[in-house]
Chains A and B, each alone.
Chain A
Amino acid sequence: MKIESKVVKFILKRLVFIIPQLLGISLVAFFLIRLIPGNPAYLLLGSGANPESVAALSQRMGLDKPIIVQYFIFIKDIFRGDLGYSWFTSNPVLTDIIDRFPATLELITYSLIFIVLVALPVARATAIKGNKLTNKLVRGYGLMAGAFPDFWLALILIYIFYVKLKILPAPMGRLDLSIIPPERITGFYTIDSLIRLDFQAFLSSWTHLFMPVIALVIFNGGPILKMAQSTMLRVKKEEFIKFYGDNGMNPKRLDKYIYKNSLPPVITLIGFIYVYMLGGSVLVENIFGWGGLGQYAVQSIVNSDFAPLQAFIIVAATMSLVVYLVLDIVYYMIDPRIEI
């Protein structure tokens, strides 16, 4: 069979698994919110509401119907793109999420790109050319980095770069207050401002990105660096590499073989970290007033605003499933020996 048709078959097979998983996610998101004590209608109207209006709203929200019926209504609404209203922002949740998603995506995507650009070359250099000392250093860093909680690192960075050195802007939002956000094209301020040739906004968005990205990179980069290095060291010792080496293969080409053969597990980890950061950047987002999805979720929890929380859980879980799927496909394309 040709590789393309095999990949298509593989994707179809995985999609069959994803549908029940999505159902499971919606079930958890639905019942998790129902776990929270108190009538949502009552919470929505506030403690001063009279019983009639609570009853009226309950009926309008369908809360008087059996729970199974409520669940089907919930699913039907999702398919219509209706994720409910946030009483805190008084917007439809879908609008809020579309507004905020690029902020989070920009933050975690740049962090991930940065991690990959630093970790892989460093791992490659130390694993192939390095000695015992550099190997130990990398391993030690890998262990150490995961020990610095990102929210604490973020505070330290703020203290150094904003309070003491005064070279970076205050940790409030994605742009200086005086700068008008560039017109939305991708939602990434760094890209939109470049397209609009708005260099002030471009510079401002980068300086605001610096601290949160560094905090996320230090915390999340450690495991990737450590894993990449140890995998390369392992592959280096494998029989086929030894065989090629003994047969006098060009060392540069040999390096490339080692590198390519150690990529699959590293790519899996990179995917995991990306998904993890979607939820894990919440704390950093909060510190920097980032206005992304994570901050939205925390805000809604603090304000007992449950529709956005539900929506965030669904969006994040769905995105993680999608990333895992893409990961499996990439993995399969790199290493077609895998049978699913």
Chain B
Amino acid sequence: MKYKKLLYSKNPMLKRFISNSSVIIGGCIILPIILLAALAPVIAPHSPNQTFNGEYLVPPSKNHLFGTDTFGMDIFSRVLYAPRTDLMIAFFATLLGMICGVPLGLYVGFYENSKGIAGIFSLITMRIMDVIQAFPVFILGLAIVTATGQQISNVIYVLAFLWIPVFTRLIRTEVLSIRENLFIEQAKAIGNTDSKILFKHVLPNAVSPAITQVSVCIAASILLTAGLSFVGAGVRMPIPELGLMISVGAKNMITGQWWPSVFPGIILCVTIFGLSMLGEGISETLDPRNWR
């Protein structure tokens, strides 16, 4: 009922968004995962960190739906809790990257090639971004997390640091073409300050590629977090985290116990897929070429 109401709403953007198939598929994947993670304390049969003595590497059974790992922890409960860690890290990392990257991109794009300190600042900033992006993402992340200490907060900062250039670049490219428009010149002519022009006139027109990037960055953050934890440089035991769980089960895989790695991996794949679908859908809805 409510959905139908939204479908016939007057807001064309909302309508396009809600009737896009990729958005619907992505949403139908992501929302249940978020819901399950939120309700984990209610649904999970055991505490995620509880170790069952003597029940090591038990195959999936009635008592342990997804079996137990080498520490005797219930994998089903851990899999329910784990997306909390991953989604939280990914969300805050992306948010932080965006909060730093977007204003920087606005500034750099607006003042590029202009005279004075602002122009020089823009040039230097972009060259710094070039350098950051020349590094292999994973190794740079790995090195910084190791250097600063393995805490969840540090993983967030490191990922945010990696996303800043991405957002800066996206916004800058948009601003470079927007600043040539007449309405900007007009806004200048009637005496607006630069900062007012930037945030009131440039930002709303430049922000859509950055919004598209959000779900891509969240997905990539989850993959990176999982990867970092996998080599032992991200989250530490016993915090339930998908990459860490896969890593704990990796040694058992070779001896034939597949369940400790496979289940968290499936959740990881499904989450990433849902986010990519959502991102795809958002970029389709925001692309004026698809408006008809």
Contacts and interface: CB of A to CB of B under 8 A. Distances in A.
Interface of A: 20-21, 24-25, 28, 32-33, 35-36, 143-144, 146-149, 151-152, 155-156, 158-159, 162-163, 170-171, 275-276, 278-280, 282-283, 286-287, 294, 297-298, 301-302, 309, 312-313, 316-317, 320-321, 324
Interface string B136-160: 1111101110111000000000000
Given A149-B223, A151-B230, A276 B143 contact: no
B235 interface: no
A321 B127 contact: no
A36 B148 CA distance: 7
B190 interface: no
Nearest to B276: A143
Given A279-B136, A320-B136, A301 B268 contact: no
B191 interface: no
A321 B133 CA distance: 10
A20 B227 CA distance: 31
B188 to A, nearest CB: 29
Most central of A155, A171, A280, A324 by chain B CB within 10 Å: A155
B128 interface: yes
A282 B253 contact: no
B100 to A, nearest CB: 18
Nearest to B148: A35
Contacts of B232: 302
A242 to B, nearest CB: 17
Contacts, number: 129
A155 B250 contact: yes
Q: Which 7 A-B pairs have the closest CB atoms?
A: A279-B136, A24-B131, A147-B273, A147-B272, A152-B265, A36-B147, A317-B134
Interface string B226-266: 11001111000000000100100110011110100110010
24 contacts: A25-B134, A25-B135, A28-B135, A32-B144, A35-B147, A147-B270, A152-B268, A152-B269, A155-B265, A163-B254, A278-B136, A279-B138, A279-B139, A279-B140, A280-B138, A283-B138, A287-B250, A297-B139, A298-B231, A313-B140, A316-B136, A317-B136, A320-B134, A320-B135
A159 B138 contact: no
Given A158-B253, A301-B233, A21 B139 contact: no
Contact of B136 (A32, A36, A280): A280
Contacts of B277: 143
A306 B249 CA distance: 29
Given A156-B262, A301-B146, A24 B273 contact: no
Interface of B: 127-128, 130-132, 134-140, 142-144, 146-148, 219, 223, 226-227, 230-233, 243, 246, 249-250, 253-256, 258, 261-262, 265, 268-270, 272-273, 276-277, 280
A279 B227 CA distance: 12
B147 A20 contact: no
Most central of B136, B138, B232 by chain A CB within 10 Å: B136
A24 B272 CA distance: 33
A159 B136 contact: no
Nearest to B249: A155
A282 B138 contact: yes
A276 B25 CA distance: 29
A34 B253 CA distance: 38
Contacts of A280: 136-138
A170 B253 CA distance: 12
* A contact face: mostly helix, strand, loop, or mixed: helix
A316 B246 contact: no
Contacts of A276: 136-137
Contacts of A158: 253-254
B246 A152 contact: yes
A298 B127 CA distance: 28
Contacts of A312: 139
A316 B131 contact: no
* B contact face: mostly helix, strand, loop, or mixed: helix
Nearest to B226: A149
Contacts of A149: 223, 226-227, 243, 246, 265, 268-269, 272
A175 B209 CA distance: 46
Contacts of A294: 139
Contact of B273 (A20, A32, A143, A316): A143
Nearest to B262: A156
A316 B135 contact: yes
Nearest to B216: A146
Contacts of A21: 127, 130-131, 134
A155 B135 contact: no
A152 B147 CA distance: 26
Contacts of A313: 135-136, 139-140, 143
Nearest to B134: A317
Contacts of B233: 301
Contacts of B262: 156
Contacts of A170: 254
Contacts of A286: 231
Most central of B137, B140, B270 by chain A CB within 10 Å: B140
Nearest to A20: B127
B231 A283 contact: yes
A148 B269 CA distance: 5
Contact of A282 (B128, B139, B268, B276): B139
Given A149-B268, A152-B265, A144 B273 contact: yes
A77 to B, nearest CB: 20
A159 B258 CA distance: 7
